[in-house]
Amino acid sequence: MTERFYADDEGDGSEEEETLGIGKFGGRDSVIFAIDCCREMFELDGENSEDTPFNRIIEAIHDMYLNKIITSDKDLHGIIFFGTKKNNSSSDFSNIFVWQKLDIPSVKSITELRDMQKINAADFDTQFGNESRKQMSEVFWESLNMLSATSYKLAAKSLIVFTWNDNPHFGDNNAKKRAKTKAQDLHDHDVDIQVMSFNKNFKYEPFYKDIISDPDSEDPFNENPIDCIQNLYSFLLKKCTKQRTLSRIPLFIGDDIEISVGVYTVARRTTKTAAISIDSSSNQEAKRSTNFIDTNTGEILLPSDIKLMQTWAGKEIVFEKEEIQNMRKIGKHGLHVLGFKPRSAAVKAWYHVRNSQFIYPNEERVKGSTTLFHALLVKCLAKDVVAICSYTARPNSPPRCVALLPQDEEINPETSEQITPPGFYVIFLPFADDIREVDFEPEQPKPTNEQIEAAENLVRKLKFTYNPESFDNPAIQTHYKNLEAMALEKEQPDKIDDHTKPDTEIIDKKAGAYIQAFKQAVFPPGYDPLKKATKHKSSSTASKGGKKPKEDMVDVKEYVSQGKLGKLTVQGLKEICRKYNIKGTGKKADIIQAIEDHFT
Amino acid sequence: MARAKEAIVFCLDIGLGMQTAAPGYPTAYDSAVKVLSMLIQRKIFSESKDEVALVLFGCEETANRLADTDDNSYQNVSLAYPLGNVSFDLLEYISYSLKPGTKVADFLDAVTVSLDILYNETKSKKLNCRRIVLFTNFSHEFSNDSLDGIIGGFSADGMDIDLCVIGPEIDIETIGLNGKDETNDEESLKDEPSTSTSLPKRRKLNHFNPSIDPNTGKPKTCQQMAGEKVVTKMFNGGVNGECYSFSQATKAVTGFEKKSVRSAAWKCHLTLGSELAIPCVAYAKTKEAKLKQTWKKCHAKTHKTADITVNQFYHVEDDQHTEVEKENIGKGYKYGKDIIPFSSEDDKQMKYATEGKSLSILGFTDIDNVPPNLFVDDQALFVLPESGDNASCTSLSAMVLGLQKQHLCAIACYIYRKGTNPKLVALIPHITEDNICFVMIGLPFSEDVRTLSFASLKDRKAHQPSDKQLQVMDELIDSMDLSDKSNSAELYPPEHMLNPYFQHTFQALYRRSQNPNAALTHTSDNVSTLLKPNNDVMERSRVKLEHVQSSFSLQKQVWKKDADLKEAWKKVDIDQADTQGSSSISGLQIAQISVPTVEKVGTVSPDSDFIALLSNAEGSAIEEIFKQLQKKIEEFLGDPFATRLENKIIVSLKTLINHAQKHNQRDNVNKFLHQIKLRVLKMPFRASFVENNIAPIDESVSAEHFWSDGDRAADRQEDEEQEDDEQGADELLDMMD
């Protein structure tokens, strides 16, 4: 009966979409980091004198791994050092050391990164040696070997090179040519190459312009490596989290106009990875399997021996599994524009029923999609309208009504990074079935202008710029810190920064006076909101006291002898069962029976 | 919280006057029956505990308590279904057994009979609401002598009975109807919320000429207008209720159900700092509805759930699939690659602890920082002041209005109850004519947000729409306007759109319950039209649509279903001779193949690249070129689609062997063949390698022998790698699931 708000076990529809998505590219994302280990990488630069470029890179990768373990622990990463004396590459390339093989993050790889974070040039030399000669072609070659040697199926592949010198093969045209050829090889294998440097004078022109991925590609990052690198962690996260298409779907306007768009996830609740079962003797994963057995014959039932049913108004109604799936097929697959409405009238905060999605055109299925999409976007923005559509996300999913909310591209003028991409958000609209009546008090006292002003003064004091990036989920972080502590046999898990706990001290300090003024303006003298509520609570329990046995358990025997058990709630009855160790399950009548049996 | 329970008397006119209609229009009788069965259907499938009764009037027989005592009155009014829970029997009766009546009857008589039922049957029951739903088109005579008595009857004895009329469009001016219209345009009120007063609402349900009944296409008779006047009088005389027309069936249905789905109250204090606490209460306003029941598995033959026993067991992923006893099963979590054993006890002790329910404000931010695309979870709640607490109301309203004026909203931390994880929520000011409250919606944590970045559309010259294209798009958008205009109501209003999936499922359930063996038919019209383009809009925009179509060039590409670009690449790659396909992909290939100078051994045609390069090479370059081709072959072997590249591998190997002697690379090539042997043996290539006689040069082994004698070595290696392979396979299975 009780409704749960924001219950933790909310059904997540989008999860299903991600695994069932039509046209989804199977496979894992993979990234190789190739880090130049030349002298300059271990020197402190003027402004940021705390860490060397090498330390900063390792730290960023370390932080990214920790994030990856939470958000997408299937992605593969590898780390190559180049310009080392030691080498261990598969093809005997000198000056290349494969420090971490292409794999999913593990306790070991994270520990290694942590230990490497503060390393200095001398220690590094002892471990790996230093050699200024290096062949970029071999770095590329080795990366390709690593990518092709893995047994996993790969979806997106990237190589991110951190270097210092922007012209490593100055005067050696052969070496240049070889590097170019190898880089082309990587491109042929759909490997995206990015090159960045902490060197302020770094230019792409001398050498790397022929190496990096096509600047005309759909990737908006191609200039300003230094700027991007300012916040290396978030930059890496962006680079290494490929936006997966949930599906590619047609978008129809009228019956005859059809373009093609990709659908993307905007936000989705990250939950702890589900616990797995293990064989306690070997700590190996134990897979759970289920089969269905005929209760009477003991035979294993085949899927065709099983049907599905629901009981309504006393009638048992039985269907084949297929029939139930077909019930969902109502609309035609894709987005169908029904018309347009003003944005403010069609998209209201309280309409929210589901996480939004994002669409962006793709040319592969319908050529010309981008131009029409662009025109639609420009005009929806100009007119401040949204497109109302019926949306059937997959051929067998039930249709929803959605609003396409236009989003203009926004660029950070300082870093020229894209803040928001151009496209439409798919905002899900509720059906009448989803909307409920909420009763308001008929006569609400209206606040006076002074009272509103007091509120304004107060809220002005506590303004901040909300950004979802600045709030980690404390429950998830705690969980992973715990795991980390167990895995690394730490005595105590690391403390987390919990930003969901209000900092009352600061609030009181900054706005205390205004809070007092507000309270004086709105609360009548002597009003104590907390006191009243508790009073209210206790009075309500008093009135219902007879119904809810609390700590001082009601005299059960008396209830039994007077046949009054029926007056207790099921919860109350169950409490009695627990206390007296009575096996009471099933319907209320059954539980009452069980209790009565116990006492007579 | 217990669900609200209602008692409803459906009062249906089946008299002669309901059975006429202009050609092409359904009769009022048909429309009424359709709406009524929909209402009952939805009552069944919402597991409603409401009690309903059906009173017919205009029928042959007379069966009601009042007529029993007074032989001359209340004739042709009959209680067809006594007050009780809804059942399929009732639905069946309405759908199949009910026949149009042969008489006429006074609708006020029927209302009186209904009132009588509610009085007698529900006096002692605890109900949230009592209601009479009257279906009539007012085409029969009535006597309003006792109208005042009847009006009084709606509120006598402290029983408050609502009246709902479903009939022709009624033009009624009512004062103080209790309808709360959520759809009121909030925007226009936001600026001066305090000046809004409750003006008498004009309940006009149609925008057509009120003297023509749009349901039947016939002009209204004087009789009908007189009937409507009586209803108007009743509403003005203090009876609560609403009117719907037959054509607004869905509106009627939703208007109905809103009252029955209520949310549980979540009481808490909205806190700010250590000093401010405002008592408040939250209710879910919008929440994605789910079917009330889940599907249970049952035995196909007996249709009994008990005949299926679910058997769960655990096994380790080894060769024997060794089963693990349940008592040996422990709990663990994956941490990247590693498994960390973690008991439930550990979990309980170490997990993030929350102390109890709370709603605490962290700060305030510009409303534009929380756009609707950021919202997560499946619901939006209203946060209201605690009822009956004026101080709470004043403070909450002042806060809402203050934020509204500053264009701000609150960011708060929300804990549902002790032990549940905290969530971040936005508290957004919500101000309507009558109400001031917060809308509370979930916001994502940093772990939840996906970064999206796409190429700018402005910079891509090829995709710039021309001025003309923009112009036709502009006109199209205007022509497809769905908003509330002077001549038509807003189309697709969420408040009145039924979820077609639910309707469809209800229909299927109902049909199957009627006829368990019949196959299901496809969607009925009234379901499929719920989300179809509106005919008027399409007609209006037809010309503009054509303009758009002719102004933009759109070409559908030949696209194999579910194949991704890379696979298409590989396919073309393999059958490179076949460049006939007109797709852009093959076009790309041609361009690549026809590059005049070859600089390296590529992936597309490694053998001919190899030969081309060799023809100009000298000295150490030759060795490099051999190396290049070898490297390519190794890559092909390592490719996840290696089996598809079989031809290419064989051709490359043959080319390599054939050129080895001439360029003095025999040893090099032989060494290479030995090198790749183990890998090849793990793949299904052996037969074709033997067939093509691929073997080391001048070593006295036949191809057949060479590709087999390493079995044992291969086995050993396979053992070592099995774990990885299986992981890969698992992964693949997971993806197919």
User: CATH number for the domain including B192?
Assistant: 3.40.50.410
Pairing of strands A28-36, A154-163: parallel
Task: Decide: B496 and B250 in contact? Cβ < 8 Å.
Answer: yes
Range of the domain at A383: 245-269+333-434
CB contact under 8 A, A369 and B401: no
Q: Is the dihedral of CA A42, A46, A49, A53 positive or negative?
A: negative
Quickly state the pLDDT bin for B180 (edges 50, 70, 90): very low
Q: To the nearest whole angstrom, how far is the Cα of B357 from the nearest Cα of chain A?
A: 11
Side-chain half-sphere exposure of B568, counting CA atoms within 13 A: 21
Token pair belonging to B215 = 């349901």
Please identify, among A486, A504, A522, the residue that sits at the C-terminal boundary of a domain: A522
Q: Same domain for B193 and B229?
A: yes
Q: Is B611 exposed, middle or buried (0-12, 13-18, 19+ CB in 10 A)?
A: middle
B299, B434, B509 ranked by CB distance to A312: nearest: B509
B287 with B433, same domain: the answer is yes
In this model, does residue B276 exceed pLDDT 50? yes
First to last CA, chain A: 32
Residue A253 and residue A204 share a domain: no
Residue B212 zone, left/alpha/beta (φ > 0; ψ -120 to 50; rest): beta
Point out the residue among A141, A304, A354 whose CB comes nearest to the CB of B378.
Answer: A354
Distance from CA of B377 to the nearest CA of A (A): 6
Q: Are A356 and B375 spatial neighbours (Cβ–Cβ below 8 Å)?
A: yes
Residues in chain B closer than 8 A to A337 (CB atoms): 480
Same structural domain, A484 and A376: no
- Note whether A316 and B340 are within 8 A (CB): no
Statement to judge: residues B240 and B276 lie in one domain: no
Residue A20 lies in a domain: no
pLDDT confidence of B474, banded at 50, 70, 90?
A: very high
Domain count of the fold of chain A:
5
User: Looking at the predicted structure, is the pLDDT value of residue B735 above 60?
Assistant: no
Tell me if B179 is assigned to some domain. Answer: yes
Tell me which chain A residues have a C-beta less than 8 angstroms from the C-beta of B262: 436-437
Q: pLDDT tens digit string along A382-401? A: 999 999 999 999 888 899 99
Query: Are residues B468 and B444 both part of a single domain?
Result: no
Last residue of a domain, one of B452, B486, B516: B452
pLDDT at A221: 43
Q: What is the DSSP string of B476-530?
A: HHHHTB-S-BTTBPPSS-GGG---HHHHHHHHHHHHHHH-TTSPPPPPPHHHHGG
Q: How far A246 CA lies from chain B's nearest CA (Å)?
A: 13
Q: Which residue on chain A is closest to B278 by alpha carbon? A: A529
The tokens for B137 are: 């088109």
Cα A48–chain centre separation: 31
Judged by CB atoms closer than 8 Å, whether chains meet at A436 and B267 is answered as: no
Domain assignment of residue B576, yes or no: no
**Same-domain status, B338 and B416:** yes
Mean pLDDT over the full length of chain B:
78
CA distance B627 to B620: 11
Choose the final residue of a domain: B452, B486, B507.
B452
Q: Do B447 and A67 touch (CB under 8 A)?
A: yes
Q: Do residue A104 and residue A177 come from a single domain?
A: yes
Q: Could you report the per-residue pLDDT of B622-646, keeping only the tens digit for each?
A: 888 888 888 888 888 877 777 777 7
The residue from A522, A549, A581 where one domain ends is A522
Tell me whether residue A250 is in a domain.
Answer: yes
| Number of helices followed by number of strands (H, E) in chain A | 18, 19
Partners of A189 on chain B (C-beta within 8 Å) are 603
Residues A65 and A204 both lie in one domain: yes
Same domain for B45 and B174, yes or no, is yes
% of chain A surpassing 70 pLDDT: 85
Pairwise CA distance, residues A295 & A309, whole Å: 18
> Quick count: other Cβ atoms within 10 Å of Cβ A511?
23
How many C-beta neighbours within 10 Å does residue B138 have? Answer: 28
Is residue B208 very low, low, confident or very high in pLDDT (cuts 50, 70, 90)? very low
Nearest CB to A266 within list B311, B373, B725: B373
Cα of B123 to nearest chain A Cα, Å: 22
CA dist., res. B53 & res. B115, Å (int): 11
Residue of B nearest to A519 (CA): B276
Closest partner residue to B372 among A311, A352, A380, by Cβ?
A352
Instruction: Say how far residue B402 (Cα) sits from the centre of its chain.
Output: 36
Is 60 exceeded by the pLDDT of residue A195? yes
Residues A457 and A520: beta-carbon distance below 8 Å: no
Same domain flag for A398 and A488: no
- CATH no. for residue B711? 1.25.40
Q: What is the number of other CB atoms lying within 10 angstroms of the CB of residue B674?
A: 13
Q: Which residue in B172, B276, B220 sits closest to A512, CA to CA? A: B276
Q: What is the pLDDT of residue B716?
A: 38
Dihedral sign, Cα of residue B363, residue B368, residue B369, residue B371: positive
Q: Is the backbone of residue A437 left (phi > 0), alpha (psi -120 to 50) or beta?
A: beta
Chain B nearest-CA residue for A504: B273
The distance of Cα A152 from the centroid of its chain, to the nearest Å, equals: 23
Q: Is A171 helix (H, G, I), strand (E, B) or coil?
A: coil
Residues of A in contact with B649 (CB under 8 A): none
Beta carbons of A372 and B557 less than 8 Å apart: no
- Token pair 């992981």 is at which residue? B727
Phi, psi of A336 (to 5 degrees): -120, 115
Q: How many CA atoms lie within 13 Å of B643's alpha carbon, on the beta-carbon side?
A: 5
Which chain B residue's Cα is nearest to A26? B735
Higher local confidence (pLDDT), B706 or A476: A476
Helix (H, G, I), strand (E, B), or coil: what is residue A166? coil
Q: Which two tokens stand for residue B597?
A: 């100078």
Q: Do A278 and B332 touch (CB under 8 A)?
A: yes
Residues of chain A positioned with their CB less than 8 A from the CB of B557 = 364-367
In a domain, A279, yes or no: no
Instruction: Yes or no: say if A154 and A102 are a contact pair by the CB < 8 Å rule.
Output: no
Residues of B in contact with A356 (CB under 8 A): 372-375
Query: Are residues A475 and A536 located together in one domain of the fold?
Result: no
Same domain, A107 and A174: yes
Helix (H) or strand (E) holding B272: strand B266-272
CB–CB contact B411 A188 (8 Å): no
- Contact at CB, A533 and B269, closer than 8 angstroms: yes
Domain contains B331: yes
| Same domain assignment for residues B474 and B448 | no
pLDDT digits (tens, 9 = 90+) for A337-391: 999 999 999 999 999 999 999 999 988 889 999 999 999 999 999 999 999 999 9
Which amino acid is located at A246 in the chain?
Answer: L
Mutation site, B348, B386, B394, B597, interface A, largest A CB count within 10 A: B394
Contact A425 B373 (CB under 8 A): yes
Domains held by chain B: number: 4
Let me know: does A372 contact A250? Beta carbons within 8 Å.
Answer: no
Give B470's contacts in chain A (Cβ within 8 Å).
Answer: 375, 378-379
Task: Decide if A4 is inside a domain.
Answer: no
* Cα–Cα distance, B619 to B665 (Å, whole number): 12
Nearest CA in chain A to B510: A317
Q: In chain A, which residues have their Cβ closer than 8 Å to the Cβ of B283?
A: 436, 438
pLDDT at B570 over 50: no
Q: Do B338 and A438 touch (CB under 8 A)?
A: no
B54-111, pLDDT tens digit by residue? 999 999 888 888 888 777 788 899 999 999 988 888 988 998 889 898 888 889 999 9
Q: What angle do CA A153, A159, A161 make, to 5 degrees?
A: 160
Q: Which residues of A touch B545 (CB under 8 A)?
A: 253-254, 256-257
Among partner residues B276, B392, B735, which is closest to A515 by beta-carbon distance?
Answer: B276
What is the band of A533 on the pLDDT scale with cuts at 50, 70, 90?
very low
Shortest distance between the Cα of A158 and any Cα of chain B, in A, equals 15
Would the CB atoms of A472 and B350 count as touching at under 8 Å?
no
Sheet holding A315-319, edge to edge: A315-319, A306-312, B296-299
Chain B partners within 8 Å of A425 (Cβ): 372-373
Residue B53 CA to residue B82 CA, distance in Å, equals: 5
CA A257 to chain centre: 34
Q: Are residues B623 and B654 in the same domain?
A: yes
Q: Per residue in B428-454, pLDDT tens? A: 999 988 889 999 999 999 888 887 888
* Ranges B147-156, B459-468, B529-538, B541-550, most confident: B541-550
When computed from its CA atoms, the radius of gyration of chain B, rounded to whole angstroms, is 38
Q: B36 lies in a domain?
A: yes
Contact A345 B565 (CB under 8 A): no
Q: Measuring CA to CA, how many Å separate B285 from each of A137, A442, B358? A: 61, 18, 19
In angstroms, rounded to a whole number, what is the distance separating the alpha carbons of residues B63 and B729?
72
What is the per-residue pLDDT across B483-529, written as a single tens digit (0 to 9) for each?
Answer: 877 566 788 888 888 888 988 888 888 889 888 888 887 666 667 67
| 3-state DSSP assignment of residue B557 | coil
Same domain, A142 and A197: yes
Q: Are residues A101 and A188 in the same domain?
A: yes
> What are the residues whose beta carbons fall under 8 Å from the beta carbon of B436, sequence distance 6 or more?
A444, B193, B396, B397, B400, B401, B429, B430
Last residue of a domain, one of A477, A504, A522: A522
CB contact under 8 A, A281 and B328: yes
Residue A444 forms part of a structural domain:
no
Residues B344 and B466 reside in one and the same domain: no
Structural domain ending residue among the three candidates B230, B257, B284? B257
Residue of chain B whose Cα is closest to the Cα of A452: B398
Do residues B16 and B101 touch, judged by C-beta distance below 8 A?
yes
Q: Chain A: residue nearest B411 by CA?
A: A466
Q: Which residue has the higher pLDDT, A97 or B336?
A: A97
Q: Are B632 and B603 in contact (CB under 8 A)?
A: yes
pLDDT score at A47: 61
* B229 in the same domain as B108: yes
Measured at the CA of B521, the angle between CA B519 and CA B523, to 5 degrees, comes to: 150
The CATH number assigned to the domain holding B533 equals 1.10.1600.10
- Of B678, B679, B699, B680, residue with least CA distance to B688: B680
Taking residues B299-314, report their average pLDDT: 88
* Together in a domain, A165 and A233: yes
Q: Is the pLDDT of residue B568 over 60?
A: no
Inside any domain, residue B582: no
Statement: residue B575 has pLDDT above 90: no
B209 pLDDT above the threshold of 60: no
Indicate whether B103 and B210 sit together in one domain.
yes
Whether B578 is covered by a domain: the verdict is no
pLDDT at B271 over 90: yes
Q: Cβ separation of B335 and A284 shorter than 8 Å?
A: no
Q: pLDDT confidence of B212, banded at 50, 70, 90?
A: low
Average model confidence (pLDDT) across chain A: 81
Question: What is the CATH number for A49?
Answer: 3.40.50.410
Q: How far apart are CA A67 and CA B198, in angstroms?
A: 54
CA–CA separation, B99 vs B84, rounded Å?
A: 22
Torsional class of A57: left (φ above 0), alpha (ψ -120 to 50), beta (otherwise): alpha
Q: Mean pLDDT check: name the lowest of A475-479, B6-10, B33-37, B519-523.
A: B519-523
Taking only the tens place, the pLDDT of each residue in A38-50 is 888 888 866 656 7
Rounded CA-CA distance A309/A326 in Å is 15
What pLDDT is attached to residue B476? 95
pLDDT mean over B120-133: 85
| Residue from A100, A157, A173, A371 whose CB has the most chain B CBs within 10 Å, to mutate | A371
Would you say how long chain A is, in residues?
600
* Residues B445, A331: C-beta atoms closer than 8 Å: no
Q: Nearest 5°: phi and psi at A266?
A: -95, -50
Beta strands, E only, A28-95: 28-36, 76-82
Which of A100, A152, A459 to mutate to probe the B interface, most B CBs <10 Å?
Answer: A459
Facing residues of A257 across strands?
A253
A24 as an active site residue: the answer is yes
Distance of residue A41 Cα from the nearest chain B Cα, in angstroms: 29
Q: What distance in Å separates the CA atoms of residue B101 and residue B121, rounded to the nearest whole number?
A: 26
Best to test chain B binding among A3, A5, A30 (most B CBs inside 10 Å): A5
CATH number for the domain harbouring residue A300: 4.10.970.10
Structure tokens at B716: 């050993």
CATH code for position A554: 1.10.720.30
Sign of the CA dihedral B372, B375, B381, B382?
negative
- Strand, helix or coil at B692? coil
- 8 Å CB contact between B545 and A256: yes
> Is residue A356 domain-shared with residue A260, that is, in the same domain?
yes
How far is Cα A340 from Cα B480, in angstroms, rounded to an integer?
6
Q: Contacts of residue B455 in chain A, CB cutoff 8 Å?
A: 217-220
| Single-letter code of the amino acid located at B253 | V
In this structure, what CATH number is given to the domain that contains residue B347?
A: 2.40.290.10
Please name the residue of chain B whose CA is at the shortest distance from the CA of residue A262: B454
B362–A500 C-beta distance less than 8 A: yes
Which domain range does residue B128 map to?
Answer: 6-257
pLDDT for the residue numbered B401: 95
Instruction: Tell me if A3 and B284 make a contact (CB, 8 A cut-off).
Output: yes
Contacting residues of A for B445, CB less than 8 Å apart? 270, 468, 471-473, 476
Distance CA B190, CA A226 (A): 46
> Are the CB atoms for A361 and A424 separated by under 8 Å?
no
> Which one is predicted more confidently, B178 or A120?
A120
The one-letter code for the residue type at B106 is: D
Taking CA atoms, what residue in B is nearest to A392? B531
| pLDDT over 60 (residue B266) | yes
- What CA–CA distance (Å, rounded) separates B142 from B163? 18
- Beta-bridged to residue A76, according to DSSP, are A30
Residue B317 has pLDDT above 80, yes or no: no
Looking at the fold, whether B204 and B319 belong to one and the same domain comes out as no
By mean pLDDT, which of A36-50, A267-281, A422-436, B556-570 is the weakest? B556-570
Distance from CA of B36 to the nearest CA of A (A): 18
Same domain, A323 and A365: no
